[in-house]
Structure 1
């Protein structure tokens, strides 16, 4: 249902569903727009939901030269401008939450509200070590399945590994016709490992909801609390029993929570 649109930043693949207030979904490391399938399906009855492929993911090509978080935020802004969206409720996940932070900092007029899922602002020593391992794991894993089996240990709950959810996600990823190359994975990972927004978060003016999974080992809740404490008026909420990617594991509950937040913002006018 998606298409490549021409923006002032070049061609970017987008998927749009529904009618209503605009929602922009910003995916994390390696995730194409399909990562948001449960939100594209579950929220488009009352919102106009837009997801897109970041640079080097899915159908959006990897550019020459290094990637940067501010540069990827410019891509998000370019998508909104190309689609003639004056402002949107922006939801970013993990690395995509960093892009969303930069979008809110550099283009506040485009951001009606922020939802930051599994977010962080300043990478710590644990995060740098973990992602350093991911960098070389991507090129040294014996095959793509082995890479996914190892990588997803950090991403999903033990429940999802036990009930077959992770096995299903692996099969869907292997069948996806636009796989991410090792080079694209590493080049996308690099800016997320080092980018720091902590000292600028106080400049964000958009109403903000920060969500963190209780069991998240990639971006533990302490990171989300730190982000919420720095953004004026931000709300922090812990999702009990969830890990890094609850919008996929418990989509109905997740969608209900963000819908309630957006309805609250809409009611303010």
Structure 2
């Protein structure tokens, strides 16, 4: 399926047709609760539904941001979920996405593993708390469970992506570099910038409000799902001390630090990230 075109952008921001090398994936658009959800999969990847791993991206990103996980696609059925671009005002984005994952028309198996990054980790935590019987294993990347431990200045910085033209085009690559870190490849930065521009300022604001109002810290001890937490040592949004706190509150959880990574280790340090996730899933996904 070809994605809908957007208005012409300056050439340093790739258009939808200009998918970066390594990010070419199969796209399926599903109607879930009457709203379009984009679902990306790997060409030639596993189709074994019993080994499904659902990946939920961070704020403003699409499921395609998980494309560097392709080495795991031969072993696991990786479904790269992209929340609807416009959440109905009847629900918060968190409420809507949580309810969407619960719906039969989401097409998810009865049990699956979850990988959630940043805002996606917030959805993953909420889903695992509500439906622990459906989650085989849980991977939280740069976890967001309470804004009390998130650096608010970095959240404010992320809103620069949504500044009015032409300022947004000047600042968006800088924001992508800050969140992705020095080791994020140019094609990864381009993917983050391009996808972020699809999100309306109102939708971004509403997702930020979900993060600012989140507080699952006291509930984490109820999680009885095998959990791996992966944190970047240079993350400017979620401090390492916060990831340690989250790990300490989830019984039996495992914390892995990628010291040179920032907020998007699955895009910047793919070998280390995939090794940690592959080892964890091999132990707990079955």
Instruction: Give structure 2 stretches of 5+ with no counterpart.
Output: 1-25
What's 1:223 paired with? 242
CA distance in 1, matches of 2:58, 2:247: 19
Q: For residues 11 and 109 of structure 1, do their structure 2 counterparts lie closer, same or farther at Cα, with a shift above 3 Å needed? A: farther
CA separation in 1, counterparts of 2:196 and 2:183?
Answer: 28
**Which residue of structure 1 lines up, in the alignment, with residue 101 of structure 2?**
76
Structure-2 separation of matches of 1:96 and 1:31: 10
- Change in Cα spacing, 1:195 to 1:141, as seen in structure 2 (3 Å) is farther
Alignment of 1:1-269 (within 5 A): 1-8=26-33, 10-17=35-42, 18-20=46-48, 21-39=51-69, 41-56=70-85, 61-65=86-90, 67-78=92-103, 82-124=106-148, 127-135=151-159, 138-140=162-164, 142-160=166-184, 165=185, 167-172=186-191, 179-266=198-285
* Deviation, structure 1 residue 104: 0.2
For 2:250 and 2:34, how far apart are their aligned partners in 1?
Answer: 28
Structure 1, gaps ≥5 residues long: none
Q: Is the Cα contact below 8 Å between 2:157 and 2:175 reproduced in 1?
A: no
Partner Cα separation in structure 2 for residue 242 and residue 262 of structure 1: 21
C-alpha deviations, 1:44-101, integer Å up to 9, x for none?
A: 1111110111132xxxx4323452424322223337x632401111010011111100
CA RMSD after TM alignment: 2.5
TM-score normalised over the length of structure 1: 0.85
Count of matched residue positions in the alignment of Structure 1 and Structure 2: 256
Deviations 1:126-150 (A, max 9, x none): 6334324544662356333223123
CA separation of 1:175/1:124 partners in 2, compared to 1, >3 Å: closer, same or farther? closer
Q: CA deviation at 1:206?
A: 0.6
